[in-house]
Amino acid sequence: MLELDKKQVIITSSIIIETPIGEMIAYATENGICLLEFTDRKNMERQMQGLSTLAEINLTDLENRHIRLLKEELSEYFAGKLTTFSVELDMLGTDFQKRVWSQLLSIPYGKTISYIQEARLMGIESSVRAVANANGANKIAIIIPCHRVIGTNKTLTGYAGGLVRKRYLLDLESPEKSLFD
């Protein structure tokens, strides 16, 4: 059950952003970025439907201050000049999902962890599947770095943007520039 009153959240800004690994769509509220996804993301239609159950979408502004900063920071990130995003986020989801996404934010740039390690860090090792499902429900790709979560045996697993993109992002962030060769 969602612990959010839809009437409290209004999405006002939206933009399409070109990146080296594909087109992304971003939505923002007055509080921060609430969606950043590849436009061809697996289950994108379901993701958008889920977003509309969490917030009223009333696009009155193409670019608010959060969208402008997001564009700058994504450009710097893909150029290898930014390791930590400062753009404000408005995480729309259940309390459990927000807890999982906050844990993802603590994974350092250039590092990876497994799903079981993530659940263990949260003190809920027996809930690894619930943690993995919450990762999959992440609406703010790259900034909330679910791409930094890999299989226990150090394999690429599960990324809604596709494993090719996940590998690109991990290679971009890796000091060795190739985690999986």
Q: Catalytic amino acids?
A: 146
CA 27/CA 86 separation, integer angstroms: 16
For residue 61, give the DSSP letter. E
CA 36/CA 152 separation, integer angstroms: 27
Q: How far does CA 39 lie from the centroid of its chain?
A: 13
Please choose, from the candidates 181, 167, 176, the residue with its C-alpha nearest in 3D space to the C-alpha of residue 21: 167
What pairs with residue 14 in β-bridges? 27
Asked if 143 contacts 36 with a C-beta cutoff of 8 angstroms, the reply is: yes
Measured from the Cβ of residue 16, the count of other Cβ atoms closer than 10 Å reads: 9
